[in-house]
């Protein structure tokens, strides 16, 4: 799945807003997802080598926001059940494998 320029812009904004709302640092997220802060920063900026990485981070951020009872910004392009997107490796997403 390719995002249009507008979808890319919107998704980056949505990621940034949700990241800020969690109150977590890049280091904390990286530790939870067993990766580096650089991988998290790249994923927030949609500079990824694996198409599943944004979905892993999206699910993580949404879970943290839900746990903290904080309303998040809905994602406008990363929508629907990732299991139904043939181009995604749902097993990788479920394992929270990023980077």
Domain boundaries, given as residue ranges, for the chain: 5-94
Q: Whose CA is closest to 30, among 15, 41, 20, 22?
A: 41
Write the Ramachandran bin of 84: left for phi over 0, alpha for psi from -120 to 50, otherwise beta: alpha
Average pLDDT of the segment spanning 44-67: 96
Average pLDDT of the segment spanning 40-67: 97
With a cut of 70, say whether residue 1 has pLDDT above it.
no
Mean model confidence pLDDT for the chain: 95
What global pTM score does this model have?
Answer: 0.92
With a cut of 90, say whether residue 14 has pLDDT above it.
yes
Residues comprising the chain, all counted: 99
């Amino acid at each position: 799945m390719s995002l249009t320029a507008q979808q890319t812009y919107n998704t980056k904004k949505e990621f940034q807003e949700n990241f800020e709302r969690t109150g977590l640092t890049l280091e904390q997220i990286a530790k939870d997802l067993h990766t580096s802060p650089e991988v998290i920063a790249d994923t927030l900026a949609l500079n990824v080598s694996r198409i599943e990485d944004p979905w892993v981070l999206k699910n993580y951020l949404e879970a943290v926001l839900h746990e903290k009872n904080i309303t998040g910004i809905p994602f406008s392009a990363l929508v629907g059940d990732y299991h139904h997107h043939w181009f995604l490796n749902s097993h990788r997403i479920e394992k929270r494998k990023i980077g």
